Amino acid sequence: MAEKRRIIYTGRPWEATGLCSGCRLCEFWCTMQNMGVFNPRRSRIKVLEMGTGIDIPVTCQQCQDPACQSACPTGAIYFDPALDIVRVNADMCSACGDCVGACPYGMITIDPVSGTAIKCELCGGAEPACVTVCPSNVLGALTNEAVSDYNRRRYAAVLA
């Protein structure tokens, strides 16, 4: 079984190139990897414009007790023990949207083309496309332990 990972924004504002540039390459390559097309509306990662020239990429947090899975009436959202994440079986999805409303992070959506629920599935276990193409190098596919270590270092840098 793979160790659970999730995509996080590793912004480093104390470095000149440590912020998201807003280029949206992560959105484009996410859809290419998962859908075979360049269409950011179908992306499983979203770059949010915070208004003051700050862009933040966000994606599924791979919850331990996912509300999206609990809300799914058809069982289309299931736990994959091989990747240690929750995935979506598109063939079982009724596109009811219950999972969309249940997600506390707003990171499961209904694909505008297929009409089924989509969420980050870490590119099926391969190195996630969003991480590999980010020119600012601010995305990471990290384990919970690595996320904790990153957060400690970030907090220490703020204190310094």
- Pick from 22, 45, 20, 48: which is nearest to 32 by CA? 45
Q: Tell me the pLDDT tens digit for each residue of 106-146.
A: 999 999 999 999 999 999 888 999 999 999 999 999 888 88
**What sign for the dihedral angle of Cα 111, 115, 119, 124?**
negative
- Pick from 46, 98, 108: which is nearest to 72 by CA? 98
Residue 1 has what pLDDT? 56
CB 94 within 8 A of CB 76: yes
Residue 65 has what pLDDT? 92
Residue 10 has what pLDDT? 86
Looking only at Cα atoms, what is the longest distance across the chain? 51
119 CB neighbour count, 10 Å cutoff: 22
Distance separating alpha carbons of residues 10 and 140, to the nearest angstrom = 7
Distance separating alpha carbons of residues 81 and 78, to the nearest angstrom = 10
Residue 92 has what pLDDT? 97
pTM of the model: 0.87
Q: Tell me the pLDDT tens digit for each residue of 13-65.
A: 767 678 899 999 999 999 999 999 999 999 999 999 988 888 999 999 999 89
Residue 89 has what pLDDT? 97
